């Protein structure tokens, strides 16, 4: 991206923030948001050169695939999909599906004194996750190279051989995987022994069985807030969202849903649904 195109993109982004964002952003919030958008525009410029290490929002960030880093930065830091308010300066956070750890960096930027337990089953993504923790000297972060399911053991794990670190890696064969490997698994309830201020579940189709396991072990009430990436129609014939919502309702949670489904509506299409839940 040339200097002129870079400036035009930045100006257009600022115009969008000022006129299209609802509710309008003001003061420090606006300045912070503009800074993040500016960094995102700058990031796109440098990623075109194929760089796999960047300085972002005060962190040194390694990645596997530059295009995925750009996507995750937009999702996590700019849109703040995992943003939440805590009652303490040192919340306890469980991050399931951490990939290279950009979400961990976000949580530590949001709450520097937070304790974070991170899970990532893919060995290549986990190696970069560990590097991002160590390179940024993060404390109170515990990382596990394991998949989160409903029981300990092992599982087939499907990865994209042509896209290392893919965001669609899954224990479900239908989630775009082209090659299977075996990974270790844990039951999440084993790691919920007290209050969890925030749970992030982005585990590509295993979210319902994990929530069920927490409920079965009497641990779901320990979770104060959560964001679940619900993967609707991994199997186009499965319509099970109501089961997850009913489970949450039966355990005292309220929730909000967000989905960027394209129009016009067509049946059987896959959709990522963000499910924000909170103890009432």
pLDDT of residue 109: 93
Tell me what percent of the residues of the chain surpass a pLDDT of 90.
Answer: 55
Arithmetic mean of pLDDT, 19-38: 53
Residue 98 — pLDDT band, cuts 50, 70, 90? very high
pLDDT of residue 8: 44
Determine the length of the chain: 280
User: Which part of the chain has CATH 3.40.50.150?
Assistant: 51-279
Cis bond before residue 264 (omega within 30° of 0)? yes
What is the rounded distance in angstroms from the CA atom of residue 38 to the CA atom of residue 11?
9
Q: What six digits make up the tokens of 137?
A: 């000297």
pLDDT of residue 32: 57
Q: What six digits make up the tokens of 1?
A: 């991206």
Q: How many CA atoms lie within 13 A of 154 on its CB side?
A: 5
Q: What six digits make up the tokens of 172?
A: 């479900």
User: What is the pTM (predicted TM-score) of this model?
Assistant: 0.84
Residue 175 pLDDT exceeds 80: no
pLDDT of residue 40: 59
* Distance from chain centroid for Cα 166: 13
Phi, psi of 87 (to 5 degrees): -85, 0
Residue 122 — pLDDT band, cuts 50, 70, 90? very high
Q: CA torsion, points 211, 212, 215, 217, in degrees to nearest 10?
A: -110
Q: CA torsion, points 213, 99, 130, 103, in degrees to nearest 10?
A: -90
Q: Give burial (CB, 10 Å; 0-12/13-18/19+) of 197.
A: buried
CATH label, 51-279, candidates 3.40.50.720, 3.40.50.150, 2.60.120.10, 3.30.930.10: 3.40.50.150
Out of 69-78, 95-104, 193-202, pick the least confident.
69-78
């Amino acid at each position: 991206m040339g200097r002129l195109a870079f400036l035009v993109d930045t100006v257009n982004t600022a115009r969008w923030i000022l006129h299209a964002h609802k509710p309008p952003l003001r003061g420090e919030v606006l300045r912070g948001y503009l800074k993040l958008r500016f960094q995102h525009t700058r990031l796109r410029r440098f990623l075109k050169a194929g760089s796999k290490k960047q300085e972002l929002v005060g962190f040194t960030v390694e990645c596997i695939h530059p295009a995925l880093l750009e996507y995750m930065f937009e999702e996590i830091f700019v849109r703040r999909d995992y943003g939440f308010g805590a009652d303490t300066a040192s919340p306890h956070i469980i991050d399931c599906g951490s990939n290279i750890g950009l979400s961990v960096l976000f949580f530590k930027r949001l709450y520097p004194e937070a304790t974070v337990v991170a899970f990532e089953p893919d060995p290549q993504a986990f190696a970069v996750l560990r590097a991002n923790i160590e390179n940024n000297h993060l404390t109170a972060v515990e990382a596990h190279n394991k998949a989160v399911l409903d029981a300990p053991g092992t599982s087939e794990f499907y990865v994209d051989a042509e896209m290392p670190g893919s965001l669609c890696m899954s224990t479900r064969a239908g989630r775009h995987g082209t090659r299977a490997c075996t990974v270790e698994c844990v039951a999440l309830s084993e790691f919920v022994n007290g209050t969890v201020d925030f749970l992030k579940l982005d585990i590509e189709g295993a979210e319902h069985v994990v929530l069920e396991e927490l409920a079965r072990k009497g641990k779901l009430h320990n979770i104060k807030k959560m964001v679940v990436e619900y993967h609707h129609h991994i199997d186009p014939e499965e319509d099970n969202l109501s089961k997850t919502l009913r489970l949450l309702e039966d355990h005292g949670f309220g929730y909000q849903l967000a989905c960027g489904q394209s129009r016009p509506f067509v049946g059987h299409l896959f959709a990522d649904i963000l499910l924000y839940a909170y103890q009432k």
